[in-house]
Amino acid sequence: MQGGWSPSHSIAMLLLATARAGTIAPPPALLKRLLEQHQYGPALRAEVVITAAADELETHYRQGGLRGVIGALQSHCRRLDLLTESSEKSKIIDAMTTVADAVTDTPDARRRVYAFPFAAAKVWKLDHT
């Protein structure tokens, strides 16, 4: 944990934003299971990290709408870029894609929600097309 921030928090932000862009709710334990695969600190419980990320996401949306959320997600991607290797970033993108598949029920919705993992891949200069 670094100055009140942890990589797990940023990953939770990315997963949650992807889930909220969907047209159906994710399976109840999906976000927790995916986040636990990326835990950096054993003392951090997934539920706590997800709750903090949800609160932050809501605050950014209230204060700046979708632009505020996108700005926050870009900031989290930059933080992760400093601490995370490409292989881990690819796993995060895969987790975001899993969430996108779980929260969409039409091809149009899936394409729209896939914008989230593709945007993260672009920030990290990964080839996830």
How many residues are present in the chain? Answer: 129
Q: Mean pLDDT across the stretch 26-52? A: 83
* Range list of H helices, the chain: 7-20, 30-36, 46-83, 86-102, 107-113, 115-123
pLDDT in tens, 65-101: 989 999 999 999 999 988 778 888 999 999 999 999 9
d(Cα 115, Cα 56) in Å, to the nearest integer? 20
Question: Global pTM?
Answer: 0.89
pLDDT in tens, 92-123: 999 999 999 999 999 999 999 999 999 999 98
d(Cα 19, Cα 9) in Å, to the nearest integer? 15
Residue 113 near residue 123 (C-beta atoms within 8 A):
no
